[in-house]
Amino acid sequence: MSFFAISALINTMTSFFLGLLVFSKKKTLAGISLTFLCLAVALWSLGYFIWQISGSADSSIFWLKFLTLFSIFIPVNFFIFSSIFLSLHKKPIYRIFMYIGLGAALAVVAVTSSDYLVQGVERRLSFEFWPIAGKWYWLMLVAFFSYFTTSLLLFFRAYRKSSGILKDQLGFILVGTGLGFLGGATNFPLWYDVPVYPVGNFLASFYVIFITYAVIRHRLFNIKLVLRQSSVYILSLGVIFAMTSVIKVLGSRFLSEFIFWVDLTAIFLAVAIFPYLKNRFLKLANEYFFTSLYDSGKLILKTSNELKTVLNIDKVYDFLYATFSKNFHAKAFGVLTFNEEDKTYELQYNQGFKAQKGDVFDSNPVVEEKFIKRNQIVITEELKSLHYSEKTKDLIQLLERLGVELLIPLKVKGNLIGLLAMGSKETGEAYNDEDLQVLEIIAAQAAVAIENAGLYSEVKKFNVRLRREVKKATSDVKDANASLTSTNKKLTEAYDKLKQLDSAKNEFISIASHQLRTPLTSIKGFISLIRDGDYGKVSRGVDTALKKIFISNERLIKLVNDLLSLSRIESGKFTFNFEKNDIVGMVKNIVDNFELEAEDRGLKILFKKPEGKINPFVFDRDKMYEVVSNLVDNAIKYTPKGEIKVSLENSAKKIRVVVEDSGKGMEKDESQYVFEKFRRGVGSSNLNTEGTGLGLYVCKKIVDAHKGKIIAESEGPGKGSRFIVELKKDFKPASKK
């Protein structure tokens, strides 16, 4: 087997593998066009390989026509890929050029079987069956060079105008294309009897590898995974190639009369040894070359433990900066807080950015809609390449001027409190998928810690002001009523009670927000990572246990949320986001989410769809989701056996959500006070010891804000309960002043 045959075989396997890998990871237009490009190179190389090992003129001619057919698809597919990658494919001139190229390729298909392209074969140099160019072969070469040259010019023009990571990506494409183009072009002179060996044919693999690497860096999928797999396969093939070459040389020298059997033995050995080599190299790569610079699990755990012990806002910021600088090698870091009233961001902390603390930036509607609302990280390079427009131009220029690489939303219970800003890495590499996943988890923990620190700071200020006001009021009363001993005594007692209440409030907020929310968020994140398989395969039994832990954790989160909702209600910070929403889908989603808990308790939960279509109307989806979830959760907790029915009743002006159970029911007077703060039904603690008496109170406050009604009904103890939420379809929230 000749050097040219072996190099063609390596080209075939490499191109096919990379094409399959790209297609399996990301089915975008760019990914699909690159897949077809890899497939064209693979099929051309396959024809080249079989032609080289053919033993007759007829067989050689057939495979030469086969590889000629696919050689025209390489530059055409390369042009299509370049147009899509550079976002030019929607422009008419490029679309026309695509169609012309496809037409030329189809024309080659039509004449492949004739002698117009491959006239025959003859011995040239050391090749027994080298092709003789047909009279139309030059036309195919014109098309070949035209499309390749045009694609190179497009990438070169984009390279000159680009900067940062995109410039590096385009540089890889230009280098890889140049190598592959020059290497493949060494095949053509000998077609016209020009004595030049096709020594650069093996460079076709580098052409595909460089392009695929550039696309990988464009975050079509995880760069570390692809580099690991690609390097393992290429290294394995290289070892196989070296081994078969040695066998071939030794066989030719010592066993020339049995050369056929030597070649056959080499092929069988290559097939048999390849899986073993691949597994060994994969283990080596995982152990020594492609491990993370940080352990994601340990980093998340360390961050969680540290954040839950810090209540000073400046210390929270300093810790986050130290964490990101050490583990991600970020050049710069900043924290911005969000102002809901005027939709602006204020820079509260800055290390390395070309900005000053206190600088205010306007929000961008496109970024808010496509990223922030979906709690997705904003990547400047991708924002520029995928969402560049007049609406985003100024923001993109601002981010590039400041040196911002990432903007990470900080959200607590769906409410945006700010952004984390990250600069580029010191190494110049892009943030990969693992980095982004870890940053999302840490951002969730950081958001809770930042809000906790802010609440703690507000409570401290309130305490100082309260003590000052109480002291002043008490002093004035004592001076004015020095002779009234009884009044002084009452004021002193009132003062002591205020201090006790103030201390209790301070302790409550500190414990609820600081000691509970942060670890619960961490537990939830770790359970999700474990169940998703990030720490290895999870057995069915362990997964069942994790589900139960997840449900219990959700109950604790609900308890903490109820306590914090009470705090916000009392302090007047209970805000709403009134928008048109679909209540049918929301209620059905709630019922689906509670099916697992109902089944665990041996209960049935049923959902009855409304009669007629309910069009979306204005309400706060998150808050109403909390109301209905609370009612369904109570129905499950206080129903020892039987079923829960959730239904929607549709009328001309109102929507009624009804949650009915067959549980313990209520006394006649219980329905009058179940919505009061810290009040629970008679005997409730016998069925559920976890309740606080806050859930229904919060529900009533939410429904009242919607100008609606919430009603509790029961025919008596043991006869079940019926809770009704009534909302107006034409509800219009009061405008903000």
Evaluate if residue 339 carries a pLDDT over 80: yes
* Residue 554 confidence class, pLDDT cut points 50, 70, 90: confident
What would the mean pLDDT of 166-175 be, rounded to a whole number? 76
Residue 517 has pLDDT above 50, yes or no: yes
Q: Which residue has the higher pLDDT, 723 or 435?
A: 723
The 10s digit of each residue's pLDDT in 141-161 is 999 999 999 999 998 898 888
pLDDT at residue 628 greater than cutoff 90: yes
Taking the CA of residue 576 as centre, how many other CA atoms within 13 Å lie in the half-sphere pointing to its CB? 24
Q: Provide the pairing of β-strand 643-650 with 604-608.
A: parallel
Q: Is residue 566 predicted with pLDDT exceeding 80?
A: no
Q: Please tell me the predicted confidence (pLDDT) of residue 505.
A: 60
pLDDT at 678 over 70: no
Please state the pTM of the whole predicted model. Answer: 0.43
**CA 434, CA 436: separation in Å to the nearest integer?**
5
Q: Residue 32: its pLDDT value, please?
A: 85
pLDDT value at position 476? Answer: 63
| pLDDT confidence of residue 583 | 94
- Reading the block at residue 476, the tokens are 């004035």
Q: What is the CA radius of gyration of the chain?
A: 35
CA distance 15 to 74: 12
Greater pLDDT, 102 or 529: 102
Q: Which range has highest mean pLDDT (41-45, 175-179, 384-388)?
A: 41-45
> Above 60 in pLDDT, residue 674?
yes
Segment 270-280 mean pLDDT: 78
More confident residue, 135 or 310: 135
Conformation bin of residue 403: beta by default, left when phi > 0, alpha when psi is -120 to 50: left
pLDDT band, very low/low/confident/very high, at 571 (cuts 50, 70, 90): low
pLDDT of residue 230: 58
Owner of token pair 């949650």? 659
- Which residues have CB under 8 Å from 712's CB, separation 6+? 666, 670, 671, 674, 675, 696, 721, 722, 723
* pLDDT band at 737; cut points 50, 70, 90: very low
Query: Which domains, ranges and CATH numbers included, belong to the chain?
Result: 3-220 (1.20.1070.10), 222-291 (no CATH), 296-444 (3.30.450.40), 454-571 (1.10.287), 579-728 (3.30.565.10)
Cα 458 to Cα 295, 312, 357, 567: the distances in Å are 36, 11, 21, 13
Is the pLDDT reported for residue 514 higher than 90? no
Q: How far is CA 193 from CA 8, 100, 132, 578, in A?
A: 22, 30, 8, 78
Beta partners for 330? 425
Distinct helix (H) and strand (E) counts, the chain: 23, 15
Residues 76-92, mean pLDDT to the nearest whole number:
88
Of 573 and 611, the one with more pLDDT:
611
Least confident of 73-87, 464-478, 624-638: 464-478
Burial class (CB in 10 A: 0-12, 13-18, 19+), 308: buried
Confidence of residue 222 (pLDDT cuts 50, 70, 90): very low
Question: Worst-scoring range by mean pLDDT, 72-86, 257-271, 418-432, 652-666?
Answer: 257-271
Indicate the range of 56-65, 75-84, 238-247, 296-305 predicted with least confidence. 238-247
Euclidean distance between CA atoms 725 and 655, whole angstroms: 8
C-alpha 67/C-alpha 512 separation (Å) is 71
Rounded Cα distance, 497 and 48, in Å: 92
Share of the chain above pLDDT 90, in %: 26
Model pLDDT, residue 513: 52
CA-CA-CA-CA torsion for 436, 438, 441, 444, nearest 10 degrees?
-60
* Percent of all residues in the chain with a pLDDT value above 70, rounded to a whole number: 83
The DSSP line for 676-693 is: STT---TTHHHH-SS--S
Lowest mean pLDDT among 89-93, 552-556, 624-628: 552-556
**pLDDT grade for 344, boundaries at 50, 70 and 90:** very high
* Exposed / middle / buried, residue 569 (Cβ in 10 Å: 0-12, 13-18, 19+): middle
H or E segment and range at residue 407: strand 404-412
Mean pLDDT of the residues in the chain: 81
- The model's confidence at residue 216, banded by pLDDT at 50, 70 and 90, is low
Q: What is the pLDDT of residue 684?
A: 46
d(CA 193, CA 138) in angstroms, rounded, equals: 14
User: Residue 73 has what pLDDT?
Assistant: 92
Summarised one tens digit per residue, pLDDT across range 97-115 is 999 999 988 998 899 889 9
Residue 422 φ then ψ, to 5°: -120, 135
Average pLDDT (570-591) is 87
Inter-residue contact 121 to 64 (CB < 8 Å): yes
Predicted local distance difference test score (pLDDT) of residue 229 = 57
- Would the pLDDT of 289 be above 50? no
Residue 415: closest CA among 568, 571, 585: 568
Q: What is residue 708's DSSP assignment?
A: -
Rounded CA gap, 488 and 496, in Å?
12
DSSP structure class, residue 362: E
Residue 503 has pLDDT above 90, yes or no: no
**CB-count exposure of residue 737 (10 Å: 0-12, 13-18, 19+):** exposed
* Cα-Cα end-to-end distance for the chain: 83
